[in-house]
Amino acid sequence: MSLILSAKRFFTLVAAMLVLTPSYANHKETIPEEEFEVGEMIMHHISDAHEWHLWGGHHNSTSVYLPVILIDGGLKTFSSRHFYHGEHASSLDHKTNAAVDYVKGVGPAAGYAMYHEKIYKMQNGELSFEDGHVHGAIKPLDFSITKNVLSLFFGAVLILLILSSVARFYKKNGSVAPRGLAKYLEVLIVMVQDNIAKENIDKHKYKKYVPYLLTIFFFIFINNLLGLVPIIPGGANLTGNISVTLLLAVATLLVTLFSGNKNYWGHIFAMPGVPWPVLIILIPIEIVGIFTKPFALMVRLFANMTAGHIIVLALISIIFINQNMAWGALSVPMALFISVLELLVAFLQAFLFTMLSALFIGAAVEEAHH
């Protein structure tokens, strides 16, 4: 079934990319075709945006324009449509002398400009650039509902609905043979409880942390699966956003630090049997180790989920680079294989993040051995 769904996803991708190529059929004059930019297309699909692009491209795109929420001398809200249908402008880079294109907001967005999905307050009605970066402009606090934020809300609601349904089943029926959603999720719940929490955390304390471990496991797993959709227009690459993986890693760090007992902190600041001159060297190393562990969690999840999307999109792009559909006989099967592999990676990354979180928590609550 997974193979069929993956195949359908990639054939939809090919069709979507054909739509994304510029169409000038309604123009009377002949306009030369724009060169297909692989990097621009890939970044468009995996990066965050203030719109939820559905289909089409350039002059005939169909999108849902999300709300922009800025704090700049007060609260300002308006639709991102005022940027995407704003005034196109260009400025010279003061260092490279190259022209840099950006968009000026219109209507309620007047006075602001968007460059690479970042919103800036213009100075003297324009943006100034230096070495490819915006220079001298004020960047207001941006609390906009972007594509990734909306996907986060959707994923959270989906998790609540699924797990609440399972909880209600067991509350109503007790310990009986599972049915419906419970039949499929029980094996995952038992895996997190017995094979992750119980195996890595003290047997008298592990139950306290099972709710947290279940939450991060299902959050990552479900959003990883939803993250396979960015290959199709309309999806969002949530777990491929380093801000999201940073938040998950910080959550694990805080749980670990606040759970740490006397034995845990003693092995960091006063390791038993270690001479004090050596402690001068080891204590900074141990302190750095506290932060490198969640840092590894953050980068592993972000890099693995993003890399898979980039590989798939790059393989499909071979068709458009060579401008020959015959290349699809090579690129589509290869991309299909990577997509099926991504289904495994979606589960594996959720499992590893949860297991390592349990391992760090287990080390923090472990009692001293005598």
Question: Encoding tokens for residue 16?
Answer: 């979507």
Confidence (pLDDT) at 53: 78
Question: Pick from 44, 342, 336: which is nearest to 221 by CA?
Answer: 342
Q: What is the mean pLDDT of the chain?
A: 83
**Bridge partners for 51 per DSSP:** 65
Those residues whose C-beta lies under 8 Å from the C-beta of residue 155, and which sit 6 or more positions away, are 219, 222, 223, 226, 238
Give Cα separations from 305 to 227, 250, 260, 302, 339 (angstroms).
8, 19, 31, 6, 11
Round to whole Å and give the CA distance between 223 and 349: 11
176 DSSP 8-state letter: S
Residue 210 CB: number of other CB atoms within 10 A? 18
Separation between Cα atoms, residue 309 and residue 342, nearest integer Å? 9
In contact, 349 and 300? CB cutoff 8 Å? yes
Cα distance between residue 279 and residue 287, in whole Å: 12
Q: Comparing 40 with 306, which gets the higher pLDDT?
A: 306
Choice between 22 and 355, residue whose per-residue pLDDT is larger: 355
Report pLDDT for 204. 87
The closest of 362, 363, 367, 349 to 197, measured between CA atoms, is 362
Give me the amino acid identity at 157.
V
Could you tell me which of 310, 330, 307 has the C-alpha nearest to residue 319? 330
Query: Alpha-carbon distance 307 to 227, whole Å?
Result: 12
Mean pLDDT to the nearest integer, 306-325: 83
pLDDT tens for each residue of 222-258: 999 888 764 444 567 888 899 999 999 999 999 999 9
Determine the residue type at 229.
V
Local structure of 23: helix, strand or coil: coil
Q: Structure pTM?
A: 0.81
